[in-house]
A and B are shown apart, each in its own frame.
Chain A
Amino acid sequence: ETGVTQTPRHLVMGMTNKKSLKCEQHLGHNAMYWYKQSAKKPLELMFVYSLEERVENNSVPSRFSPECPNSSHLFLHLHTLQPEDSALYLCASSQRPGNTIYFGEGSWLTVV
């Protein structure tokens, strides 16, 4: 138990669907992150939020839409995804940007 909880753990969606990944951290941290991990590739930093404000967006396609309603919750809204978007999506948090980051268990996404 890392203090970062992701749901769902597994998600299968069609290319025309709209779904969301949810992340909740119980650590009192102020920064939250989304990473993507594809097979045999390094983790890719997607988004960073600090105090609910997006401070980093690494050229992620607009079909991925993050939302951070408060410092404990982070969402990744998904729509019109492609099969190549199938990956493990990891949420993480830290006390503040740059501190040690703690990861959730990840959400496995399969786009069919």
Chain B
Amino acid sequence: LAKTTQPISMDSYEGQEVNITCSHNNIATNDYITWYQQFPSQGPRFIIQGYKTKVTNEVASLFIPADRKSSTLSLPRVSLSDTAVYYCLVGTYNFNKFYFGSGTKLNVKP
């Protein structure tokens, strides 16, 4: 089971680009990388998922280097409403062990 390591917290200002990096050194060949966002008192919300290289959607981009031992979630031009905890998960596509780490608490300041 691939363990993930993320910074505990990050601060940013409105309008800045934020990059949150996750380490997953023992990622398996079949593992996908998924990021979730969680606001207080709510369930986590899916942001983006990828396997390799770069994935972009309307919310974020996910950069995965060739060795796949890390990944970076990029949030363009953050706003105050992006203040949340961001979780990086590594899981096998064909199995069900989605384990959440401690996540990164992003604090966006005015």
Binding site for B on A (CB under 8 A): 2, 4, 31, 33, 35, 42-43, 45, 48, 50, 55-56, 88, 90, 92, 94, 97-106, 108
What's the dominant secondary structure at chain B's contact region? Answer: loop
Tier of interface size on chain B:
20 to 34
Task: Determine the residue in chain B with the shortest Cβ distance to A50.
Answer: B96
B96 in contact with A48 (CB, 8 Å): yes
A105 in contact with B94 (CB, 8 Å): no
Q: Taking A2-B43, A105-B42 as contacts, is the C-beta distance between A31 and B100 under 8 angstroms?
A: no
- Residues from chain B with a CB closer than 8 A to the CB of A101 are 46, 98
B49 in contact with A45 (CB, 8 Å): no
* Assembly CA distance A92 to B59 (angstroms): 21
- Contact of B29 with A by CB under 8 A: no
A31, A33, A103, A105: residue with the most chain B Cβ atoms closer than 10 Å = A103
- Contact of B41 with A by CB under 8 A: yes
* Assembly CA distance A94 to B43 (angstroms): 14
- Residues from chain A with a CB closer than 8 A to the CB of B43 are 2, 4, 90, 92, 103-106
* Assembly CA distance A35 to B41 (angstroms): 14
Given contacts A45-B99, A102-B46, 17 further A-B contacts (CB under 8 A): A4-B43, A33-B98, A42-B100, A42-B101, A42-B102, A48-B96, A88-B41, A90-B43, A97-B94, A97-B95, A98-B93, A98-B95, A98-B96, A98-B98, A100-B46, A103-B44, A106-B43
- Residues from chain A with a CB closer than 8 A to the CB of B91 are 98
B49 in contact with A100 (CB, 8 Å): yes
- Contact of B92 with A by CB under 8 A: yes
Interface string of B68-110 (1 = CB under 8 A from A): 0000000000000000000100011111111111110000000
* Assembly CA distance A78 to B50 (angstroms): 37
* Assembly CA distance A55 to B93 (angstroms): 15
* Assembly CA distance A23 to B96 (angstroms): 19
- Contact of B61 with A by CB under 8 A: no
